Amino acid sequence: PHISSIVVPNDFEAAAKAVMPLKSWTYIFSSAHDGSALRGNLTSWGAVRFRPRIFHDVTTVDPRSSILGSASAFPFYVSAMGQMGRGHPAGEIGVVRALAKRGVHGLISSETTATMEEIATAFADEKNKKRKETSAGETEQERPEAQLHFQLYVPSDRAIAVQRIQRARATGVFRSVWVTVDTAVLGKRTADRRLQAAEALATSPELSAHAERAGFGLLAHHSNSQLNASLTWDDLKWIKREWGGPVVLKGVQTAEDAARAADLGVDGVLLSNHGGRQMHDAPDALTTLLEIRTYYPSVLDKLEIFLDGGCRDGADVLKAVSLGAKAVGVGRPFFYALSAYGQKGVERCLDIFSDELVTGMQLVGMKNLDEACPERVNASRLLNE
């Protein structure tokens, strides 16, 4: 379909499916087991309702926010997704150029198609272009610039992990490191495995017999070498030391772990179940946020809380912010947008999210994000589920 016919973020999914090889589309779409965690993520947002207030002058509203101390045009960012070159030749380069144009933050995966240096260069280049266009006198505060953050998978070989951190720092563009902590091993990605089995059977029955003996196929085997099942809280110390800047834990799923992270001086936690791709029947991020509000409310003052998983509507971002989150990460819609339309698709997806967010602020009667507070939402349905 023509890009102008894309109206909501979900429209990108079908657009991508129509043009992508099934295997690459499945890689994005895939979730763990029967998809229970993914479905939970998708339905959680609708279970929280707004409490719109009337008679507020909302002629202009201000959606600006900040992430870990850096200004951000909006309280959402693009999540870390690996191998974006599988969706479109522009890959991560297209994504970061779109981010730089729109002043939105992005989290860059440890497993990119382009190198982190190439990504950093393209990002800096696009930011410079934008600076020249921006009228003189407009400050960073008035018009936030895009920022990148680095998602770290910690491989079992510590030397490789340290090297990865040092490379990230040397690029000079990453503001923080987000350590993924929900991926001790790769989750059971059912759709990927089915497709892989079918392909193996079609090409070589012998090879598939071999794969069957070896375990559950090459996908899991290959990716697990990048992971580290022995990671513990102790490892945080050297990771923090090596990086020397803000650290966020990506994939916190309970209030207890958020509280422990806060006690250990971590700068932020991303409540996330990895888009439903890791533990199935894992909690959606909004539920974990409510759990923190109930049992460890002081965590909200000690570090920044981020959420991701299933957010497909710019206005939904306001629900998380009202409940105390700093920003919401969005994954798949941007990968589908890139796959279907390249950089232009990512730009359109950013525009749709920001337009929905601004309209949402106007309709609930919120002039700026300081006015986002728990009274703006009713989360009782989610609590009762």
Query: Applying CB under 6 A, which residues contact ligand FNR?
Result: 27-28, 41, 79-82, 109-111, 151, 180, 250, 272, 274-275, 277, 308-311, 329-332, 335
How far apart are alpha carbons 331 and 95 in whole angstroms? 12
| Catalytic option among 88, 149, 274, 280 | 274
Q: Which is nearer to ligand FNR, 61 or 189 (CB)?
A: 189
Nearer to ligand FNR, 65 or 109 (CB): 109
Residue 193, class by beta-carbon neighbours within 10 Å (0-12 exposed, 13-18 middle, 19+ buried)?
middle
Q: What is the closest distance, in whole angstroms, from the C-beta atom of residue 58 to ligand FNR in the complex?
A: 28
Determine the Cα angle at 92 with ends 87 and 93, to 5°.
120
Q: Computed from CA positions of residues 237, 238, 243, 249, in that sequence, does the dihedral angle turn out positive or negative?
A: negative
CB-closest chain residue to ligand FNR: 331
Q: How far is the CB of 188 from ligand FNR (least distance, A)?
A: 15
How far apart are the two ends of the chain, measured CA to CA in Å? 38
Residue closer to ligand FNR (CB basis): 180 or 208: 180
By beta-carbon proximity to ligand FNR, the closer residue of 26 and 65 is 26
3-state DSSP of the chain = CCHHHCCCCCHHHHHHHHHCCHHHHHHHHCCECCCHHHHHHHHHHHHCEECCCCCCCCCCCECCEEECCEEECCCEEECCCCCHHHCCCCHHHHHHHHHHHHCCEEEECCCCCCCHHHHHHHHHHHHHHHHHHCCCCCCCCCCCCCCEEEEECCCCCHHHHHHHHHHHHHHCCEEEEEEECCCCCCCCEHHHHHHHHHHHHHHCHHHHHHHHHHCCCHHHHHHHCCCCCCCCCCHHHHHHHHHCCCEEEEEECCHHHHHHHHHCCCCEEEECCHHHCCCCCCCCHHHHHHHHHHHCCCHHHHCEEEEECCCCCCCHHHHHHHCCCCEEEECHHHHHHHHHHCHHHHHHHHHHHHHHHHHHHHHHCCCEHHHCCHHHEECHHHHHC
Please, what is the minimum distance in Å from the beta carbon of residue 109 to ligand FNR? 4
Considering the complex, state which of residue 38 and residue 366 has its C-beta at the smaller distance from ligand FNR: 38
- Comparing CB distances to ligand FNR, the nearer of 16 and 262 is 16
Considering the complex, state which of residue 100 and residue 330 has its C-beta at the smaller distance from ligand FNR.
330
Judge whether 105 counts as a catalytic residue: no
Q: How far is the CB of 149 from ligand FNR (least distance, A)?
A: 11
**CB nearer ligand FNR, residue 101 or residue 274:** 274
The distance of closest approach from Cβ of residue 232 to ligand FNR in the complex, given in angstroms and rounded to an integer, is 18
Q: Which residue has the tokens 């071999």?
A: 210
Closest approach of ligand FNR to the CB of residue 243, in Å: 16
What is the pairing mode between strands 327-330 and 76-78? Answer: parallel
Q: Least distance (Å) from ligand FNR to the CB of residue 31?
A: 8
Q: Least separation, in Å, of the C-beta of 275 and ligand FNR?
A: 3
Q: Return the active site residues.
A: 274
